[in-house]
Structure 1
Amino acid sequence: MKARSQELVDKSIAAMISAIEVYNKPDFKYREETFSILAINAWELLLKAKWLKDNNNKVRSLYVTEKRLRPNGKPYKHAKVKMTGSGNPFTHSLDYLAKRMAEKKTLADAAHKNIIALCEIRDSSVHFYNKSGLFAVRLQEVGSASVRNYAKAAKSWFSVDFSQHNFYLMPLAFVKNHQPSEVILLTKEEKNVASFISSLEAANDPKADYAVSVNVELKFLKSKADDAIKVQVTNDPSAPKLQLTEEHLKDKYPLNHKALSTACAARYCDFKQNQKYHDLLKPLKADKRYCHVKKLDPDNPKSVKQEWYSQAIFNVLDKHYTVKG
């Protein structure tokens, strides 16, 4: 008979595989929303399995308790398990478990922040709606990192072997055709979520096993392998279109130097564009979490370069300046 924790692991894996299979369908109208819902479900079951394992498979460790009063108004000596409307025990939420496990260093900080970002996308999808193709790109960056983090955690905690599964998200270019004009159609709500995700990306460490988000790149290389995917370049307007663009970088790195300085002046009461400011920016320019360096002419190696900064840079600057009250 399987332990409860292992039963939860099996259910969790089934949920994540379902999320990936739905996402990778070539024509699915509720792709990002469905993936985020199922992926969150997979993470919650995995964390509950780990929690049970660390608590000797005592299912009560997952129950939410509350203090209750006796009929005479005096409190019971021991807290009681909180019940749902159907009379079943309430179990701890994903937010609670992720926070507690991150505090105990059981769950990596980057993986925790990735879950927070994925939950924000899920909440935005469930409670309202998203319509921008650019927002779909941000979901893929967070979702791809989440799948990788999930596989790493499941293997580390339960020795799960994912070699029999295609455990990855297909590049957007293969599953969905986006129009270039979509880069300007972010709603206010979508901008808020995208900005929130950018702020979490400060926890990204290129050398770490876990990540808040990842950049998904698609490259075509010549190959003599028999099973290599064949691609033909054509000007046939009826041929399927594959769009490779850096437009989504404008969302991830929205601030040029002038805009960043203006934002700092509005954000901090003791900000000055002095040597201290330039010294702080210098090492951040080489960090992809905070800065993307773009050549004005990509084909010219001597082209003038321009730095574009992400919202995550404020997580660093906040430590050196006083935020206005």
Structure 2
Amino acid sequence: MKNLSKQLVDKSVEAFIIGLEIYNKPTIRYRIEGFSFFICNAWELMLKAEYLNRGKSIYFKDNPDRTLSLDNVLKKIYSDENTRIRLNLERIIELRNISTHYITEDYELKYAPLFQACVINFVNEIKRFHSVDITKYIAHNFLTISASYEPLTNEQIRVKYPPEIAEKFIQQANEIDVLSEQYNSDKFAIGIRQNLYLTKKKDEADFVVSIQRNSPSGVAIVKDLKDPSETHKYSYGNIISVVTDKLNKDNIKLGYKNGFNQYVLNLVIDFYSIKQDEKWAYCHKIGKLESYTYSQQFVDFIVSEIKKDPQNFVESLKKSK
């Protein structure tokens, strides 16, 4: 088994390096899909080697010719479903699985923070599990991935792609934004961003602007219409995970044995007629299909209502039906 484990680790390192080389090569347009394939392969081989080292079999009992999938071994090594390393890799696995159906290069800047975290996670975990120092195979500076594409706005995405693909893009990007903010962990996403602030202290400014008409670098404060894809970023599933996470952080235990799940969320939606109020929910229509996304206000509202009486919150909703 030791020999097999070493072979898996060696192949894992090769897959990892190929993934980085594909992603950081500017002439390759298929780099997001290519990277997701190879980084998943690298993780699968590395985790299978660790599973073998723990004295476990990587083969299915009822089919000895078939080995465990990455999903299988990921859940066995990281049994806590809230482990940030696992959550990060699960998102990239989703990307790998849809890459044959959707063109994803336009959302590179959305996935790049997840990719960077995944790279660092791999380097740390292969060192922890197998005492392999990746920097002996590839220079440290090549472990930083570079995103070169300018992000498209949601409106540009809708113009460029058919409705089904456009809405899928927007939904995935919104979920990444929501989860990155909620988890707030370098193990899930490592972002690079530039923030601009207005200040009256000239000596603290990097550059000077003016709201005067004759200024060479003028700015203006404007109000615009809000895109519901920007204001209502939470999917149904995200509502459950984010509310649960917020309750756990505040050490609030819901007086319902199954916790905050689909059943409880449906009670909330029905009781407060959430889908009838665009402040809370927005209906996306593609042909005859309808789907809803929800606002940050709705998340905050649920948590605040639970905090008032966590032990009787669910029962009060049930009695009102």
* Aligned-partner Cα distance in 1 for 2:119–2:297: 24
Match runs of 1:210-221 below 5 Å: 211-217=187-193
User: For the structure 1 residues 182 and 17, does the alpha-carbon distance in structure 2 shift closer, same or farther, using more than 3 Å as the test?
Assistant: farther
Q: Indicate the structure whose relative CO is greater, using CA pairs within 8 Å and at least 6 residues apart.
A: 1
Q: 2:60 aligns with which of 57, 64, 67?
A: 64
CA contact (8 A) 1:254 1:310 kept: no
CA contact (8 A) 1:113 1:200 kept: no
CA contact (8 A) 1:114 1:212 kept: yes
CA contact (8 A) 1:198 1:312 kept: no
User: For the structure 1 residues 254 and 94, does the alpha-carbon distance in structure 2 shift closer, same or farther, using more than 3 Å as the test?
Assistant: same
- Residues 1:190 and 2:169 are matched in the alignment: yes
User: For the structure 1 residues 37 and 256, does the alpha-carbon distance in structure 2 shift closer, same or farther, using more than 3 Å as the test?
Assistant: closer
* Aligned-partner Cα distance in 2 for 1:180–1:205: 24
Q: In structure 2, the residue corresponding to 1:90 is in which secondary structure?
A: strand
Q: 2:88 aligns with which of 95, 98, 114?
A: 114
- Residues 1:163 and 2:135 are matched in the alignment: yes
* Aligned-partner Cα distance in 1 for 2:87–2:133: 25
Q: How big is the shift at 1:213?
A: 1.4
Q: How big is the shift at 1:102?
A: 1.6
Q: How big is the shift at 1:34?
A: 0.4
CA contact (8 A) 2:36 2:96 kept: yes
- Residues 1:13 and 2:9 are matched in the alignment: no
Q: In structure 1, the residue corresponding to 2:116 is in which secondary structure?
A: helix
Q: In structure 2, the residue corresponding to 1:254 is in which secondary structure?
A: helix
* Aligned-partner Cα distance in 2 for 1:190–1:43: 25
- Unaligned runs of 5+ residues in structure 1 are 67-81, 84-88, 220-249, 258-262, 273-307
Superposition TM-score, scaled by structure 2 size: 0.56
Q: How big is the shift at 1:271?
A: 6.0
The count of corresponding residues between Structure 1 and Structure 2 is 221
Superposition TM-score, scaled by structure 1 size: 0.56
Please list the CA deviations of residues 126-153 of structure 1 after superposition, one character each: whole Å capped at 9, or x if unmatched: 2x022452x1112211111100110110
Please list the CA deviations of residues 144-185 of structure 1 after superposition, one character each: whole Å capped at 9, or x if unmatched: 11001101100111111122324424331xxx3426557731
Match runs of 1:117-128 below 5 Å: 117-126=91-100, 128=101
Q: In structure 2, the residue corresponding to 1:163 is in which secondary structure?
A: helix
* Aligned-partner Cα distance in 2 for 1:123–1:157: 27
What letter is aligned with 1:3? N
* Aligned-partner Cα distance in 2 for 1:98–1:319: 33
* Aligned-partner Cα distance in 2 for 1:309–1:39: 33
Moved over 4 A (4+): 179-183, 263-267, 269-272, 308-325
CA contact (8 A) 2:44 2:69 kept: yes
Q: Could you say which residue in structure 2 is the equivalent of 1:151?
A: 123
Q: How big is the shift at 1:202?
A: 6.5
CA contact (8 A) 2:20 2:143 kept: yes
What letter is aligned with 1:143? F
CA-atom RMSD in angstroms = 4.2
Q: In structure 2, the residue corresponding to 1:21 is in which secondary structure?
A: helix
What letter is aligned with 1:197? I
Q: Could you say which residue in structure 2 is the equivalent of 1:45?
A: 45
Q: 1:139 aligns with which of 111, 120, 123?
A: 111
Q: Could you say which residue in structure 2 is the equivalent of 1:96?
A: 72
CA contact (8 A) 1:113 1:203 kept: no
* Aligned-partner Cα distance in 2 for 1:3–1:315: 53
